[in-house]
Structure 1
């Protein structure tokens, strides 16, 4: 056939000119290595929010309703803990920290505030500077301080922990706030990235606070951003050496030859260099999801390497010619590698259907990496193996073993034959059992949850004990963000848990618009904070009410334009707005009213114990009641929208990967073997593996998140590797042997290589469980299980599938296909009709 001519051409290059092939690949490796220096990094949740409608609406809100020519403000929280943070020594610790921060140049501090400042000013209203406040506290008795705390209690709300006791003037925690002037655009979106202009500022504040005394923790977006980035590097530093250790150990067993081990390891390194060089050349950033790419490349590369060497060793047993043995090996393996590469690439590229850019980038990079792996292990490694074996006799390097894995008579071969035994005795009944099992697992898996939160991308509150025991430089950094968040939630919990935003685009001079904004807060949904059956909200309406309460002239203007007397103007609204914009309420007005009077921003406080899904549904329901074009947004809404897209991505990529894989296998087996039905047989064990991994997710309580959203398509992409090798080897053996002899030779030959590949890959990817980032550990666990499930299904289920397939084709099980008189299809190399 035509494809054989291409394989023969590649065989000629490998066998006749191995040196030239090696040089060509080394030159490409050098070129790709240049791109490594251009790889940028990206981390955090902001990368997932890009392009989300609710996120774009939030950015529009923040741009439109921020006063013109005003820099953004950022803040740093100083969280103080103690037996009583309102005691005199503790108040002084906080004030001294504030003073030290204000005195340090370069921190862009505009103001500091704290409960200590409030107490000091309660004692002396003229103490406006931190230095003056320190003097006041130092000259005051504890009794006077307690009395001042009780007097200032209303102004201390929100600054003290929930255990604040006004009578005893005590509390176990307090929050101080440092306000900074930072470059514009800091708060334009909902997501948190791996970089922040506040990071160096807050890290410097940490160093300052450490010298002032007291138990004070520095917290803010800069600290969070730093941990987003640090957890990636820490995870790589731990995972990479562990993966290398496991891979080398299993490759030593798989190859049992020093030169083959070195060659296989070098080819793996080339695959990683090519892939990440490509990353730098095309400008795709290295995100947290990309941490999973090297293990995936290792998984496929290890499989290809072991199969190439194992099949070559099998063929060397029948000939003394290195070239002839390699030709026989690559004739079979190049086709199998191509099929595996095609199906794996389809599985990864199915992630392009996702609306989330990081998942799309992951799919592209993984797919390109697999193509590179195919070229390196399909062409470079065989050429290098030929070049080495023709010279190795003259090298003083011992050869430990050239025996193939799973050869007849070995203990491994007996274990691998379990599927053949089942296929011989009761294939149909066993397949029916597998269908029922897969259906049950699939139904059970419908209960898998979906989640997306900032905490997913942060290290856990407590680092696992086995990571704490690691020596330098592998010991992870000390992480504080999650424990601080949990402390704040525990100590400063209120009925309010943030807010949602309604972005309203309409003619704001319409006489009824303010009345409609006010009415939208009546009878609020359960997740909204309310008082007297009206939502706790902030809008242009509340700005008008606040200004009217303190400005008699404005109050008269509102009254003259208020026909129903409820305090909300309903005519000549432009005049009302003009007054506000010409007063000292201008900045506050522009936070809720567009300067062209065609848009408005309304924020609603939501309950702390309300769920993300509930809040989003309620916010969208309220937005639907507004006249004009109203969009619900805010951090909670954006994250819930991302969560929904993650679930959609998981299902879409699964369907596309499955359909694409089936179509590709049907076509490729029709072209290569004239047997398209083999494509369907190929997919059966993968369906079992996908159902099993989905059921396992629910069993282990693992939800679909930014990482695990790809696991179903990935199971198809990696799992098909195992079934393709078995099916392709079976067809090759079936031409010369009876059904069960062909199956037996298949599982012993290919099954042995698959076992080595599975063990290496499972442990190589499984080391992701050692990562500091917990969702990366979940991904590693599920990926390792998916590989193990695919291996088991291919060796246990696929033999029964092939027995049933062979019987449905009407073949004589005791005769080889080449010995049977069956109708031929045009172009069928097996002599069997399609």
Structure 2
């Protein structure tokens, strides 16, 4: 492949950076002002519906909700649960507290209460059947003796078995006692609540429930107000509190390591300004592009910090290597940018490809992450490749004119330093047994990759919520950094542990087509025959609720309608299969109209069928079985429902993680082969660069499986991100090696200069990034903590693979592939250490 002379472009940038630094700085400040305009323009999106909106099952569920929302997802109502705990919530004092709480809630006009229900109200009506208000029910309980109340409790639960679901599993009929109960309050809402398994933007129900907490607290007793689901506000608060906890710690650690790495106040200030400018440009771009800040984009600041810290330390460290022995500021910076601009281009190209691989995802939120990360990395390269060197030239010339002292101007990893003696360990291994070590690396990569291939994928709202028991370290966190108290996880787990969840759940099939066709109802009914294992079986047929069951139920109540059904039922099975328009019209003109419209639209073009499924059936089993039943339909049918939507998102996440990994590896390898072929005339170096990255990805995937960290909406991007960040380290080392290799006496000398010079900067970058981003593990949001841990590990693994593995691959490349200076001079140099 012919070599391309990129020096003309580099010389032009050199001239601007060294000869016109003030103009460069001014231009970057003007552009920063433009991006300030975009800050906050995209808004925020804290709901989880952003992850489900692209899934066909979710789109079908939305259509179900739009067409049949009367029964399950009321468009104008929402509910609040009152969870009461105590020694015996069925004793007289506890019953009165529940009744008083519901009375006060119903009497508050701001709460828009349309109805209330509870075991306490049912017991009171047993005590006084004439009671027609909560006031009457309170008086009935107050007038009754404890023994009368106990008898009323037993009678009420016996007559109404459905009330058993509102009592904890330790309910004892003999003693008429239970340790917990649930009351329900229904509110009138102008806009409805959440329509699906994900939480969307803002809901009026949230404000109502906050107000309800104050009303219930005034009653006393152990009654907790709990919403019907996890709200976007709660998710947003958890993320915000997590960031409020970990960002100060991350900033403190990053600042500490940057002080050690830069060892000069002015250089430290320049590095921090460059980091701030990178953030400003990226978030300004998001606002101008209309991209909302979401939970997933929490990943962007750590990524920009990781790459920005690396670029900054490399730029300053490389400049310090050249700015010695009387070399002027301009000459030192020209040599620095001559080398670093090409290295930054290579690193930026491969990193952008790694992040842009997420554009292949089936979820728009992950695609947005890919776009913002790729653009942010380009901004990082511009700021640290052009702006930072220009400001450094201005600063050092100013320092020379004023005679200001320099602090810690020596480069990291110098030969006489402790770090300089440790870093070449990979070179020493390459001297002794490069072939054997390479075999070990290849086998380890294969084994780690095989083990890591078993990483699970999962998507649940609980991924965003804090643990039930807050971590012990939170007790030592001072205000105002201490996060708030969150009870949603604790309450949810309490309900699961103490209340009967029932023997079955439901799943839904959404049917579209000309449902007035004669065989429509028969086809829908036959789909439930011989039900799959996860479905509840009623004498060889799935237990279902549909327009068919509504027709049969009303026919049993109305003889005239039953006669109509019989006249149009050719096989006499209670399901009409002729003149369905007439049957539907009669049904919709009857008292059963509302019930019928819960399962078929009034234009007869779509219907829903609800199937009962076993409560202990797995998410995967329910999904597979519902899809199998949907496939039996003669119409277009889609399996949907909350469980299926969540499983579909999990599948998309897993597929996206694998697809983006393959795309990132192939694209990065192709880019490196092309770039090294064009710039250096050595395309094989591109393949040499890939092995440390493959090892990093395999090690990260196996770590995820070992620590039981699944692919979710955030960690699902970790493998492609690991490629982007990992190539950063190996590309810096490889580019420096090429420079040293062309003028070295042998390959050993080139490697030693590389790992001590660039390796020193890599070490400072690694320590800063790992410590600063690893502190995200302390976040109270599990998904954020897992992501921080994985990013920190990907940086650590990339660093170790580059320092330890890359020297061996370069030695073997020099021995068997190259025909350049390193190989030819090695045999001529009698003093060179053997590389056997």
Pair 113,244 (structure 1): closer, same or farther in 2 beyond 3 Å: same
Q: Deviations over 1:578-610 (max 9, x none)?
A: 222122321211110121123211011222211
- Aligned partner of 2:630 among 619, 623, 644: 623
Deviation at 1:321, TM superposition (A): 0.5
**Alpha-carbon distance in structure 2 between the residues aligned to 1:472 and 1:39:** 31
**Alpha-carbon distance in structure 1 between the residues aligned to 2:754 and 2:555:** 86
Report the number of matched residues: 820
- Aligned partner of 1:580 among 556, 564, 587: 587
**Alpha-carbon distance in structure 1 between the residues aligned to 2:790 and 2:687:** 25
| Within-5 A mapping of 1:812-831 | 813=822
Pair 479,395 (structure 1): closer, same or farther in 2 beyond 3 Å: farther
Determine the structure 1 residue equivalent to 2:328: 321
**Alpha-carbon distance in structure 2 between the residues aligned to 1:581 and 1:148:** 41
Determine the structure 2 residue equivalent to 1:228: 235
- Aligned partner of 1:265 among 261, 269, 272: 272
Give the 3-state SS of the residue equivalent to 2:144 in structure 1.
coil
Q: Is 1:53 matched with 2:56?
A: yes
Contact 2:199–2:230 (8 Å) recurs in 1 = no
Contact 1:88–1:137 (8 Å) recurs in 2 = yes
Contact 1:192–1:221 (8 Å) recurs in 2 = no
Deviation at 1:280, TM superposition (A): 1.2
Q: Is 1:118 matched with 2:122?
A: yes
Determine the structure 2 residue equivalent to 1:147: 151
Q: Is 1:367 matched with 2:374?
A: yes
**Alpha-carbon distance in structure 2 between the residues aligned to 1:37 and 1:517:** 50
Determine the structure 2 residue equivalent to 1:6: 9
**Alpha-carbon distance in structure 2 between the residues aligned to 1:174 and 1:701:** 35
Contact 1:198–1:221 (8 Å) recurs in 2 = no
Determine the structure 1 residue equivalent to 2:788: 780
Contact 2:262–2:313 (8 Å) recurs in 1 = yes
Deviation at 1:222, TM superposition (A): 6.5
**Alpha-carbon distance in structure 1 between the residues aligned to 2:178 and 2:137:** 20
**Alpha-carbon distance in structure 2 between the residues aligned to 1:224 and 1:144:** 41
Q: Is 1:454 matched with 2:461?
A: yes
**Alpha-carbon distance in structure 2 between the residues aligned to 1:680 and 1:295:** 28
**Alpha-carbon distance in structure 2 between the residues aligned to 1:480 and 1:77:** 14
Deviation at 1:565, TM superposition (A): 4.4
Give the 3-state SS of the residue equivalent to 2:507 in structure 1.
strand
Determine the structure 2 residue equivalent to 1:25: 28
Pair 686,594 (structure 1): closer, same or farther in 2 beyond 3 Å: same
Pair 812,297 (structure 1): closer, same or farther in 2 beyond 3 Å: closer
Deviation at 1:774, TM superposition (A): 0.6
**Alpha-carbon distance in structure 1 between the residues aligned to 2:78 and 2:408:** 65
Pair 13,693 (structure 1): closer, same or farther in 2 beyond 3 Å: same
**Alpha-carbon distance in structure 2 between the residues aligned to 1:793 and 1:426:** 17
Q: Deviations over 1:375-396 (max 9, x none)?
A: 1100111011110111124658
Determine the structure 2 residue equivalent to 1:418: 425
**Alpha-carbon distance in structure 2 between the residues aligned to 1:142 and 1:546:** 42
Structure 1, gaps ≥5 residues long: 821-834
**Alpha-carbon distance in structure 1 between the residues aligned to 2:131 and 2:572:** 43
- Aligned partner of 1:485 among 488, 492, 498: 492
TM-score of the two chains, using structure 1 as the length reference: 0.95
**Alpha-carbon distance in structure 2 between the residues aligned to 1:255 and 1:340:** 22
**Alpha-carbon distance in structure 2 between the residues aligned to 1:128 and 1:12:** 89
**Alpha-carbon distance in structure 2 between the residues aligned to 1:603 and 1:337:** 57
Deviation at 1:197, TM superposition (A): 2.3
Deviation at 1:53, TM superposition (A): 0.7
Q: Which range is displaced more, 359-368 or 548-557? A: 548-557
Q: Deviations over 1:667-688 (max 9, x none)?
A: 1111211111111111111111
**Alpha-carbon distance in structure 2 between the residues aligned to 1:302 and 1:3:** 26
- Aligned partner of 2:691 among 664, 667, 684: 684
**Alpha-carbon distance in structure 2 between the residues aligned to 1:406 and 1:58:** 59
- Aligned partner of 2:106 among 102, 105, 109: 102
- Aligned partner of 1:252 among 250, 255, 259: 259
Pair 476,497 (structure 1): closer, same or farther in 2 beyond 3 Å: farther
**Alpha-carbon distance in structure 2 between the residues aligned to 1:44 and 1:415:** 48
Give the 3-state SS of the residue equivalent to 1:603 in structure 2.
strand
Q: Deviations over 1:486-529 (max 9, x none)?
A: 11111223344532111112333334433343343333222223
Determine the structure 2 residue equivalent to 1:427: 434
Pair 185,671 (structure 1): closer, same or farther in 2 beyond 3 Å: farther
Deviation at 1:559, TM superposition (A): 4.1
**Alpha-carbon distance in structure 1 between the residues aligned to 2:521 and 2:89:** 44
Q: Which range is displaced more, 373-382 or 101-110? A: 101-110
**Alpha-carbon distance in structure 2 between the residues aligned to 1:440 and 1:271:** 39
Contact 2:194–2:200 (8 Å) recurs in 1 = no
Determine the structure 2 residue equivalent to 1:85: 89
Pair 564,122 (structure 1): closer, same or farther in 2 beyond 3 Å: farther
Determine the structure 2 residue equivalent to 1:763: 771
**Alpha-carbon distance in structure 2 between the residues aligned to 1:311 and 1:398:** 20
Contact 2:653–2:713 (8 Å) recurs in 1 = yes
Contact 1:736–1:816 (8 Å) recurs in 2 = no
TM-score of the two chains, using structure 2 as the length reference: 0.95
Q: Which range is displaced more, 432-441 or 574-583? A: 574-583
Give the 3-state SS of the residue equivalent to 1:77 in structure 2.
strand
Determine the structure 1 residue equivalent to 2:807: 799
Contact 2:430–2:807 (8 Å) recurs in 1 = yes
Contact 1:67–1:591 (8 Å) recurs in 2 = yes
**Alpha-carbon distance in structure 2 between the residues aligned to 1:416 and 1:255:** 19
**Alpha-carbon distance in structure 1 between the residues aligned to 2:641 and 2:362:** 19
Structure 2, gaps ≥5 residues long: 830-836
Deviation at 1:460, TM superposition (A): 1.8
Determine the structure 1 residue equivalent to 2:346: 339
Determine the structure 1 residue equivalent to 2:76: 72
**Alpha-carbon distance in structure 2 between the residues aligned to 1:130 and 1:558:** 44
Contact 2:169–2:500 (8 Å) recurs in 1 = yes
Deviation at 1:564, TM superposition (A): 4.6
Q: Deviations over 1:792-832 (max 9, x none)?
A: 11110000111111112245647659999xxxxxxxxxxxx
Determine the structure 1 residue equivalent to 2:171: 164
Contact 2:78–2:192 (8 Å) recurs in 1 = no
Deviation at 1:560, TM superposition (A): 4.3
**Alpha-carbon distance in structure 1 between the residues aligned to 2:799 and 2:32:** 32
Contact 1:62–1:187 (8 Å) recurs in 2 = no
Give the 3-state SS of the residue equivalent to 2:259 in structure 1.
helix
Deviation at 1:650, TM superposition (A): 0.5
Determine the structure 1 residue equivalent to 2:833: none
Q: Deviations over 1:357-392 (max 9, x none)?
A: 111111111111111110110011101111011112
Contact 1:44–1:454 (8 Å) recurs in 2 = no
